[in-house]
Amino acid sequence: MANLLFYLFAALTVGFAFAVVFNKNTVNAALCLLLSLIGVAGVFALLDALLLSVLLILVYAGAVVALFLFIVMLLNPQAASPKPYKKISAAAGTIAAALLGLGLWSFVSHGELSSAPATAVFQSGLKDYGAKLFTTYLLPVEVVGFLLLIAMLGVIVLSKKFEGLEDVK
């Protein structure tokens, strides 16, 4: 039964993650992100990491997705016509996809993904988890917070209409 639930949550997570990437409507993409995060929380619950599961639902699914929805709805990106992709954007996307593929191939070929058990971090108690979070894993937590800030600023910059730029040219 646990394997069936894992496959269900994994398919939910991957399916809605693809929907986030390929969805043209930003509100629908944010809602698909919410459903993808719920799938990740389900996987955490299956790993008996109930604290991480609840924190993911409260912090990311509750606060961050709601913040993204408010930003997107406040700036109304659907009012402007979509801009066509430039060649530099297509080249950057191709390079990013190639680097992602190279990184995944490197992990798989060196056996880094299968050597460490996934539940090794979650075996300790809450006190050990808090100590690891603020000592060993402090930098990754800070980096993720910084990336979320950059993503939020990117949403604002991409959605904002610059009306005074026509006069400058």
- Tokens standing for residue 117: 């058990």
Q: Using alpha carbons, select from 148, 23, 25 the residue that is nearest to residue 76.
A: 25
Does residue 72 or residue 117 have the better pLDDT? 72
pLDDT above 80 (res 113): no
Q: For 53-66, how does the pLDDT look when each residue is reduced to its tens digit (9 = 90+)?
A: 888 888 877 777 77
pLDDT at 78: 59
**pTM value > 0.85:** no
* 3-class state of residue 10 by DSSP: helix
pLDDT band at 18 (very low <50, low <70, confident <90, very high): very high
Q: Using alpha carbons, select from 79, 61, 80, 71 the residue that is nearest to residue 16.
A: 61
CATH 1.10.1740.10 fits 2-82+116-160, yes or no: no
Domains of the chain: which residue ranges?
A: 2-82+116-160, 83-115
Does residue 32 or residue 141 have the better pLDDT? 32
